Amino acid sequence: MPRNRFTVATLLAITTATAVGAGLWVLVDRYYGVANVVAHIETWVLFVNGLAWGWPLIILLVGGGLYLTVRSGGVPFFRLKHAVDVLQGKFDNPDDPGEITHLQALATALSATVGMGNIGGVAIAITQGGPGAIFWMWVTALVGMGTKFFTCTLACMYRKVDANGIAQGGPMYYIELGLGPRFRPLAIMFSIFGVIGCLAMFQSNQLAEMLESQYDASRWVSGVLMVIGVGAVILGGIRRIARFSEKLVPLMCCLYVFAAVAILFLRAPQIPGVLQMIIRDAFTGSALAGGVIGYVIIVGVKRAAFSNEAGIGTAPMAHGAAKTEEPVREGLVAMLGPLIDTLVVCTMTALVILSSPPELYETKLDDNTLLGVSLTDGAFESGLGFVGSAIVQMSVVLFAFSTMFGYAYYGRKCMSYLVGPARGEYYNYFYLVGLLVGAVGSASLVVNIIDTAFALMAFPNMIATLILAPKVIEATRAYFAKLDQR
């Protein structure tokens, strides 16, 4: 496409997406009143969310992950060294089918998970469920390593060439190809809710919240700027921005972790007490949050699922593009995701918050205020002053945008499965409108919408994974038997 044509098309698309979002908002406000409509929607979404995130899903995610881990013979724990070797490229073959290397696949998946879930999601877990929710995030991450191993192995075992001649992998494909045409309704269900769940509304909401609280920036202005910035990338142009982000985001991740480690070093005497509080609260419930143990478990599992997405089915869409003839290798690489994302980065965020002056987070629990990134920002500022706050703010901006790029890919892939790759490109406009809605909406509404969609993605994904588990176990045994013969 000629350069000038691309520029006009891009600007027109961004303007259209922004105008549609703003126009819908104005019409709703004029005829119904935005506040009334939002209140009704919040009530309805909260009700559906409560149904979706009931004990059946908790058992499916945690119990299913534990079952998969045990059935695999503890592969996530006993084969970590080999997973790292694969990640380092020791087994790469440029002639293998696929589009990206193992490292690029993991980086792509992590770019969509290491971010707002680690910065804002952990804070929300504490405000919703108290310190004990962090313990259940750990449990979910540990069994999630097993889940990621199975789902991402399946993503490479069952790939389908689309109308553009590109091999695609992901839950919708291993459901259709692995289970057969009778199970295609599950693939369609996953894709429909993936179209909604992959909207980066939480990211735009938390970024707008930070800009509003720190710089008194209008949420509308923030939303429009996000639409322009993200639209310029996901609509097919400015590859330099994507390459720049790919190099800068890992650097920011290291800087964020370094800042957290510095704070924890300064507060080292407090850490044992914080860990005891997390474990004690996990089995007693938080009085401050008004929660009992069941509620605390549900909050922890929710936030872990949002953070590392084990069992939800998004990561297999990235890992399914890996260059490999050995699907088990990609499963091994993928299982490192929850380890890095939740057990390392989320834990650091939680320890920084809970080792801060108690009034910083206890007030939020007392008044039932749902704050995410603002709470984390305050915790880092209490530890490192202006520098800590600046690091969090820079991390939020970079992580939010990198996640927005990754989620756009996931959502477009779900839409393409439903309507074909040519029409699937129209998802970008829907996605951009979602950014604007997320920026101006309430945190509780946005969180509940995405959580609900994630829950309804997890059901078909986990059901298919459990049914197809024997195929993965067979492939795993064959792979390691062949490896041991070398």
> How far is residue 420's CA from residue 407's CA, in Å, rounded to a whole number?
18
Residue 379 contacts residue 391 (beta carbons within 8 Å): no
- pLDDT score for 5: 44
Residue 191 inside a domain? The answer is yes
Residue 166 inside a domain? The answer is yes
Tokens 């303007």 locate to: 15
Residue 111 inside a domain? The answer is yes
Most confident of 109-123, 143-157, 224-238: 143-157
- pLDDT score for 446: 83
**Number of domains observed in the structure of the chain:** 1
Helix axes 219-234, 386-419, angle to 10 degrees: 50
pTM across the whole model: 0.81
| Per-residue confidence band for 35, with pLDDT thresholds at 50, 70 and 90 | low
CATH number of domain containing 434? 1.20.1740
Residue 392 inside a domain? The answer is no
The residues near 474 (Cβ < 8 Å, ≥ 6 apart) are none
Our CA dihedral for 142, 144, 150, 154, rounded to 10 degrees, sits at -150
Residue 252 inside a domain? The answer is no
Instruction: Evaluate if residue 291 carries a pLDDT over 90.
Output: no
The whole-chain average pLDDT of the chain stands at 79
Phi, psi (rounded to 5 degrees) for 347: -65, -40
Residue 250 inside a domain? The answer is no
∠ CA 232-233-239, nearest 5°, is 120
Residue 263 inside a domain? The answer is no
Q: Is residue 305 classed as helix, strand or coil in its secondary structure?
A: helix
Instruction: Evaluate if residue 307 carries a pLDDT over 90.
Output: no
Residue 169 contacts residue 155 (beta carbons within 8 Å): yes
Phi, psi (rounded to 5 degrees) for 294: -60, -45
Residue 138 inside a domain? The answer is yes
Q: What is the mean pLDDT of residues 448-473?
A: 91
- List 161's β-bridge partners, or say none: 167
Q: What distance lies between CA 305 and its chain's CA centroid?
A: 7
Q: What is the mean pLDDT of residues 382-395?
A: 87
Phi, psi (rounded to 5 degrees) for 94: -60, -15
> How far is residue 96's CA from residue 93's CA, in Å, rounded to a whole number?
6
∠ CA 391-397-399, nearest 5°, is 90
Residue 78: domain span: 3-237+269-375+399-484
- pLDDT score for 265: 93
